Copies of this chain bind each other. A is one copy, B any other.
């Protein structure tokens, strides 16, 4: 469903969100450890998320990554920043073009499902996921 890069990215973002009270920064090593992702690869993904404006980063001692508006960051924005639009706009059967006027055989059946995915990702924000994680209702490492 999501690429590995995206899975790493989402997990990292959720962890960062749990730690980002009052502009506090989290270091890459911490993030990788607590989100179960390889450090160097996570750095790449966080770079993309930072470039997309979903994350603040600062170099040097006392530097690190931080999120200050977790309530406004949707899962969709993260997925889009990493995996692009393929999940939201691409044809289920891989046709280069596919729309209601000249649909692939799965187009209509797929549409409803995709709308559901889209709604879910748009309406889910980092803050609620971070809250669940902090409260012990959910987990990042298994």
Give A residues with C-beta under 8 Å from B. Answer: 1-2, 4, 7-8, 10-11, 14, 36, 75, 87, 90, 92-98, 102-107, 109-110, 112-113, 116-117, 120, 124, 129-130, 132-133, 137-142
Contact = CB atoms under 8 A, between A and B. Distances in A.
B139 A103 contact: yes
B138 A105 contact: yes
The CB with the most chain B CB atoms within 10 A, among A36, A106, A116, is that of A106
A120 B109 contact: yes
A15 to B, nearest CB: 10
Contacts of A102: 139, 142
Given A120-B113, A133-B105, A98 B142 contact: yes
